[in-house]
């Protein structure tokens, strides 16, 4: 669910960012300019689906927009800060899960030895703690996902104009997003020679001025883009179903 919602958020951010750039470019570019202006995004009530043009080129390019966002120095720095922020919650969830697993183990090892009342009480504790843990896990994942989407939207508003400019400067008539493989995404296959992700990341890093995040020990981390699905989340539950 988070990944689907993130794609919707990214699509909306691209549309609005490109439309804003188009309006700026339309006002600044003479009517006889080589680069065609982007049309404004259609209103929500119009019901239309006006295509967004990025230029008169015939080349097709591909970009992993999620990979570009979180592969940029700013994106990596923001995600690392978000992961750090959630470390206490991760520790809390781990503690809850360990306590839950200990109770389940106790019920399994003492099965047949406990009185009916004691067994019922232990099962009740497990059921209560399981519900609390599941609710805490879901809340943490949703909170993490929402904040991750906020980071993506913020960076994309600044990155989208660079994608448009790169396309115009290099004669691309279409840029496709390969963030999600088919059938989750619309692109069946895209050759590596089409990919402009790294070029956009490098241009964005230069524009943002954010230094490459350093790994522990002072060594620079590799700069290869990575998709949002690789970001660390609160720990997943490894507990089984509540014994009945």
Along the 244 residues of the chain, how does pLDDT read in single tens digits? 444 545 555 555 555 555 554 454 444 433 333 332 223 333 333 333 334 445 566 789 999 999 999 999 999 999 999 999 999 999 999 999 999 999 999 999 988 888 889 999 999 999 999 999 999 999 999 999 999 999 999 999 999 999 999 998 998 988 989 888 888 778 877 888 889 999 999 999 999 999 998 765 544 444 444 443 334 444 444 444 444 4
CA distances from 237 to 107, 173, 230 (A): 19, 46, 18
Q: What's the pLDDT tens digit per position in 225-234?
A: 444 333 444 4
Cα distance between residue 234 and residue 206, in whole Å: 32
Quote the DSSP letter at residue 15. H
CA dihedral of 170, 175, 177, 181, whole degrees rounded to 10: -100
Nearest in space to 76 (alpha carbons), one of 85, 64, 67: 67
pLDDT of residue 192: 83
Copy the structure tokens of residue 196: 């402009």
Cα distance between residue 91 and residue 40, in whole Å: 47
- Predicted model pTM: 0.67
Q: What's the pLDDT tens digit per position in 204-213?
A: 999 999 999 8
């Amino acid at each position: 669910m988070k990944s689907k919602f993130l794609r919707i958020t990214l699509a909306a951010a691209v549309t609005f960012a490109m439309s804003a750039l188009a309006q700026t470019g339309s006002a600044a570019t003479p009517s006889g300019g080589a680069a065609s202006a982007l049309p404004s995004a259609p209103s929500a009530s119009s019901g239309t689906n006006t295509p967004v043009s990025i230029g008169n080129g015939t080349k097709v390019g591909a970009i992993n927009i999620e990979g570009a966002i979180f592969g940029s120095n700013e994106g990596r720095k923001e995600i690392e800060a978000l992961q750090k922020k959630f470390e206490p919650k991760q520790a809390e969830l781990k503690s809850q899960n360990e306590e839950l697993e200990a109770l389940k183990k106790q019920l399994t090892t003492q099965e047949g030895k406990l009185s009916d009342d004691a067994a019922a009480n232990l099962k009740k504790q497990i059921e209560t703690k399981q519900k609390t843990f599941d609710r805490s896990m879901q809340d943490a994942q949703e909170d993490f996902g929402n904040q991750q989407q906020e980071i993506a939207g913020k960076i994309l508003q600044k990155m989208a104009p660079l994608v448009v400019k790169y396309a115009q400067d290099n004669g691309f008539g279409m840029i496709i997003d390969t963030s999600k493989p088919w059938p989750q995404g619309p692109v069946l296959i895209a050759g590596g020679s089409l990919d402009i992700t790294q070029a956009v990341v490098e241009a964005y890093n230069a524009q943002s001025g954010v230094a490459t995040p350093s790994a522990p020990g002072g060594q620079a981390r590799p700069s290869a883009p990575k998709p949002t699905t690789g970001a660390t989340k609160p720990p997943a539950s490894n507990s089984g179903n509540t014994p009945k």
